[in-house]
Structure 1
Amino acid sequence: MVIYRFLSGDDDSSFCHKVTKALSEGWLLYGEPHYVFDAVAGKMRCGQAVTRDVADQAYDPDKKLTDYV
């Protein structure tokens, strides 16, 4: 099964660390990063989709995606 996550946050180093951590845990980049201007907060926001192949397991919507192995 392939699981999907969309990481998002402010356009700063903490977002880069979030993506780097996901990559170090076996997640793969999926598509291009996205950037939008949040007019209310007055700052740029960014997002990156990541996917990971996991062993044959039934999908459980109550399970955290990071708990799939």
Structure 2
Amino acid sequence: MKLYRLLTEEDTAAFCHKVSEAISKGWELYGDPTYAFDAANGVMRCGQAVTKEVDADYHPDMKLGAQ
């Protein structure tokens, strides 16, 4: 089964670390990153979709980051 996650963070090194950590755990980049202004908080935010093949059945309560 293929899992999907959308990683988001403010436009800081924390975003790059979050994506790098996911890649190091076997997640693969999916599509282009996004970049948008968060008017409520007055900051730029980044997003990157990632996917991962796992040998498990999907359950809505599964913790995707732990896979």
Q: TM-score range by the shorter chain?
A: over 0.9
Deviation of the 1:16 alpha carbon: 0.4
TM-score of the two chains, using structure 1 as the length reference: 0.90
Q: CA RMSD in A?
A: 1.0
Runs of 4+ in structure 1 over 4 Å off: none
Unaligned runs of 5+ in 2: none
CA distance in 2, matches of 1:20, 1:50: 11
Q: Deviations over 1:24-61 (max 9, x none)?
A: 00000000000110122211001000000111x21111
1:13 aligns with 2:20: no
CA distance in 1, matches of 2:32, 2:47: 9
- How many residues are aligned here? 67
TM-score of the two chains, using structure 2 as the length reference: 0.92
CA distance in 1, matches of 2:66, 2:24: 15
CA distance in 1, matches of 2:22, 2:63: 14
Residue equivalent to 2:26: 26
In the TM superposition, 1:36-55 aligns within 5 A as 36-55=36-55
Unaligned runs of 5+ in 1: none
Percentage of matched positions with identical amino acids? 55
